Structure 1
Amino acid sequence: MTDLKSVQKDAYTLILEAIDSGIYRPGDRLVESELADRFGVSRTPIREALQRLETQSLLTRDGRSLIVASLDHNQLSELYVVRAELEGLAARLAARHATEEEIRVLRDMVDEDRALVDKPKALSRANRRFHKQIHLASHNRYLVQQLDLVHRSMALMATTSIAAEGRGQDTIAEHNAIVDAIANRDEKTAYQTLKDHISKAFVTRLKLDSGAIKRIEE
């Protein structure tokens, strides 16, 4: 039976969320009939969603099949460069425009996420929510749109840097410093602190991929 949550979302969003949550991982083949059964929708919207995802380079062709795309080293590096700049800009604008209520929400997120330091999957989801809140606090719709595109591509990564041993604790400390800068209306520090946060995450990911550091398993 299709639940209410599924009915309220379109096929594109459902497939994208399945990729983002790791149900479908880079290299996995996506089949129209299987997706239609999983999400309880007809094959026509599934087909349209797959075409849209292929256009966005989230899916790629393997013969006649569509598979979840993967990022090579150069693509990963390019993505992090763009992400760092856009995220830094979002933090700068949040320091300028965020309401006191939005800052309170960010602080509450950091406090609540302390309980997740040893749960990489849960902290990874919380991390996305935290960054999304900063995007919204920038009060710039065009920047939010561009960051949404970047974060869709981030879903093509097979692992999260937060899975590295010790990275959870560091992530919380870095998030706290970002919120402090935003709360202090220090645009320069907010920009640089968030850029540094993304840079550290990229270094950690490279070390994880090379086997240089240990990964936490839940």
Structure 2
Amino acid sequence: MHFYIHGSVGNPDGYHNSLLGQMTWTKNLHSFAGHCMGVCLPFNFPYYFNYGTMGSLCSPFYRGPSPMSEVETRAIVETLEQINNKHKLVMLLDLQQPGQSIVLPFSWNHINPEDYEAMRSLASTYTEAIRLNHNVYYDVNHNGYAMGGTLTEYAKYLLGIKYSYKIFLSIDVRYLFQPHPMRTLVPQVWTGLTAMLRELQKERVQEARKALSALPKGQDE
């Protein structure tokens, strides 16, 4: 398996502005004509871009003038596409602000996709591992946002990354931009991630065995 960790802050403008007291600034600082600024980057991705999102410049959830209008979004998309073309990605985790839940990428769709049960099962593996090892409870749902244009939906439906999740972290909003919560948060996420990876490894083994069994006799030798 190959692992790629995008360790930088996806919205440096928002991070900086939040540190200055605008708790929490969810947009970048893209300057537009008028008195409002910023695009809410989580809704600027090129899949169901207009669905349920805000077209008002002054809204904290303003989606931007067009898909991938922001340099931050384009950087993430270009990086993902390059990696996915080289090594077909199986899972993507988008870590977000507090919420203590793992969200499946079809809040805009009232019909569950064919692989819904597989996606929910792997998400439950994450939550159960954290519950057992850290006594922290995460929910699994697909109602985090009734909006399109998100990274996880783009990753799943346009890039074909089967297991794409948005994870809202277990962190007190009062300590959102302080380092000490990481002492408990990082072990939690790592526990959940390793549990998911073990399940993915089992899935790959099963797929390999199935492929071998489908070969005509003698070709698997």
Q: Normalised by the size of structure 2, how large is the TM-score?
A: 0.28
Between structure 1 and structure 2, the one with the greater Rg is: 2
Structure with greater helix share of residues: 1
Q: What TM-score results when the alignment is normalised by the length of structure 1?
A: 0.28
Higher-RCO chain (CA-CA 8 Å, sequence separation at least 6): 1
